[in-house]
Chains A and B, each alone.
Chain A
Amino acid sequence: HNLHEFEKLRGAIKGSSVNGISQLKRYLHRFGYLEAQADDVFDSNLENAITKFQEKLGLPVTGKLDSPTVLELMSPRCGVPDFPGKLHRIKN
């Protein structure tokens, strides 16, 4: 992931199609928030995933790609999924 790419998604709104949303969806899938999707549409699934991300990380819950959320998305982080049991299995 090139996390700095998420900067250009700041302010994207539901219903829009924005280049880079697919990368965000891959990120949210990787960390356990979203089933795999490869399109660039800001749909209800993405809104729900953003809401879950905000709740999990103690951010203001808006369902939007606001500044605190984008800043967190761009932060270096641990590779362990935030919901490891839901969409991923840790391979023991």
Chain B
Amino acid sequence: YAYFEGRPRWGRNIPMRLTYAFSPANPINSSLSKEEIRAAFRRSFGRWASVIPVAFEEAGDYGGADIKIGFYSGEHGDGEAFDGVLGVLAHAFSPESGRFHLDAAETWAVDFEREKSAAAVDLESVATHEIGHLLGLGHTAVKEAVMYPSLRPRETKVELKMDDVKGVQALYGSNPNFSLGAFSESDIYSNGGN
């Protein structure tokens, strides 16, 4: 695992609560319903919340939310333009910025049985990865980990690996209910050198 320079993290007292909201001005333009999108993000935030003492809650007030999520095309004001289909899929900013941008040009999917496009990208996998950035993680060299920087079309990678867990727990500590039981022995030990 890796961190941003200076190892920034959200500086509130533990346990902490962070709110997130979707930009009403930059909604996704696809076959996905709002509820499908919200559910995918809820699951992604929940995975991180299960390993650290941080709770995430969807807020109705976009302006007041800690984490602001939106779908954007091309240049969108932060100097990191999106590039159309595939290429760069999304980006998020280090703590405590909270900005989370997805490329509106992608064919975002939550169900590959329904979305047959060869260029479809799993929304939940990308959301889980970008939330790692919002929490302070950088990119890892562990290919199986959520924080590995690339994701192929129609690939799904939503489960946190020990590399992800160790990295984020070094920033925030462990959720009291966290158990190693969900991780395979090989996963636990294969990342011990990181």
A interface residues (Cβ-Cβ under 8 A, vs B): 1-3, 31, 55-58, 72, 75-80, 82, 84-86, 90-92
Contacts and interface: CB of A to CB of B under 8 A. Distances in A.
Contacts of B139: 56, 78, 80, 82
Contacts of B82: 79
17 contacts: A55-B141, A56-B141, A57-B141, A76-B121, A76-B150, A77-B88, A77-B151, A78-B126, A78-B130, A78-B150, A78-B151, A80-B149, A82-B149, A84-B5, A91-B78, A91-B79, A92-B97
Contact of B150 (A77, A86, A91): A77
Contact of A78 (B91, B142, B152): B91
Which of B80, B130, B153 has most chain A Cβ within 10 Å? Answer: B80
A58 B147 CA distance: 13
Nearest to A85: B5
Given A3-B86, A58-B142, A85-B5, A76 B152 contact: yes
Contacts of B192: none
B4 A90 contact: yes
Which of A1, A57, A80, A92 has most chain B Cβ within 10 Å? Answer: A80
B90 interface: yes
Contacts of A86: 5
Contacts, number: 83
B93 interface: yes
Contacts of A77: 87-89, 149-151
Contacts of A31: 149
Interface string B88-117: 111111101100000000000000000000
Contacts of B80: 79
Given A76-B87, A76-B152, A80-B92, 7 more contacts: A58-B142, A78-B130, A79-B88, A79-B89, A80-B133, A82-B138, A90-B94
Interface in B135-160: 138-139, 141-143, 148-153
B27 to A, nearest CB: 20
Given A1-B88, A84-B138, A85-B5, A78 B149 contact: yes
B100 to A, nearest CB: 11
A18 to B, nearest CB: 21
Contacts of A82: 138-139, 149
A92 B94 contact: yes
B58 interface: no
A92 B149 contact: no
B11 interface: no
A75 B6 contact: no
